[in-house]
């Protein structure tokens, strides 16, 4: 009876998800298999296009780079926050969450001001004598990666703080008392117990980076086009909805594959963690 009550309570939310998320995605994918040229013609055209293959590979490696950098920065920051006592921990968490309180477009425009030829960073480098003339930092992969790391690292920190806080201090003290070096304690105690948070954070950051539109469009432009930008271009500029649906289907499949790969990796690192 309790189990039936649980399903009954979850049914309204489940119905909304099915109606407004699952069914539209399925309908979008189905349209790609109903073209007159055959069920797989749109996918053949996608992978036969050098431009689209380049955009796909660029999106994957930029998303993986953002995920890796966010993992390192987020883990260090979350570990410091989780070991900070009292009111200072609250201040650090607020500081980590603060960037999320502004819109993505606003934060991306801030990076335009920072990385522009007349921007803050170029002005500082010229002032200290590191460079003689401003560098072209915008519309490069580095600009996109830096902005997206800034956008998504707070999600990684928030995901990891709770996991790292749940690790008892007694385990760390016991490891040290048994003669383990700090590096051994980290690799054999802290890291395996943090695997669930690392995987959840990595999935959030990767999917956010892989499907991002505003940041690549503003900071990458046409020279660093990513899948989200390409899909918008096909749908809203060229009005080729079938091609846009094909791009969306490819993104869905790759996202699911990466998430499955991350989950499998987590199980190999710590079978009890996932």
**Interval 175-190 mean pLDDT:** 75
Higher pLDDT, 159 or 130: 159
Residue 270 in this model has a pLDDT that exceeds 80: no
Cβ count near 141 (within 10 Å): 17
**269 confidence band (pLDDT: 50, 70, 90):** low
CATH value of 64-269 in 1.10.357.10, 3.50.50.60, 1.10.3720.10, 3.30.930.10: 1.10.3720.10
Supply the pLDDT for residue 273: 47
Q: What percent of the chain has pLDDT over 70?
A: 95
**Interval 33-58 mean pLDDT:** 87
d(CA 22, CA 17): 6
- Give the pTM: 0.86
Q: Average model confidence (pLDDT) for the chain?
A: 84
d(CA 165, CA 161): 6
| Phi, psi angle pair for 115, to nearest 5° | -100, -5
Give residue limits of the domains in the chain: 64-269
């Amino acid at each position: 009876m309790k189990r039936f009550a649980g399903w009954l309570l979850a049914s309204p939310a489940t119905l909304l998800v099915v109606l407004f998320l699952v069914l539209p995605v399925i309908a979008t994918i189905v349209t790609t298999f109903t073209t007159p040229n055959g069920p797989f013609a749109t996918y053949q055209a996608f992978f036969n296009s050098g431009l689209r293959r380049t955009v796909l590979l660029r999106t994957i490696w930029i998303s993986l780079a953002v995920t890796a950098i966010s993992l390192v920065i987020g883990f260090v920051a979350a570990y410091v926050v989780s070991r900070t006592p009292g009111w200072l921990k609250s201040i650090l968490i607020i500081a980590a969450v603060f960037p999320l309180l502004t819109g993505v477009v606003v934060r991306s425009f801030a990076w335009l001001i920072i990385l522009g030829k007349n921007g803050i960073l170029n002005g500082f480098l010229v002032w200290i004598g590191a460079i003689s003339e401003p560098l072209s930092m915008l519309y490069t992969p580095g600009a996109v990666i830096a902005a997206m790391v800034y956008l998504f690292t707070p999600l990684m920190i928030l995901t990891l703080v709770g996991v790292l806080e749940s690790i008892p201090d007694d385990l760390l003290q016991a490891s040290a008392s048994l003669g383990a070096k700090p590096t051994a304690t980290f690799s054999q105690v802290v890291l395996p117990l943090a695997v669930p948070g690392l995987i959840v954070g990595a999935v959030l950051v990767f999917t956010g980076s892989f499907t991002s539109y505003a940041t690549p469009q503003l900071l990458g432009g046409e020279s660093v086009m990513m899948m989200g930008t390409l899909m918008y271009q096909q749908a809203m500029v060229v009005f080729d909805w079938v091609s846009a649906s094909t791009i969306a289907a490819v993104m869905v499949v790759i996202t699911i594959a990466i998430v499955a790969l991350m989950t499998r990796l987590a199980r190999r690192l710590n079978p009890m963690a996932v």
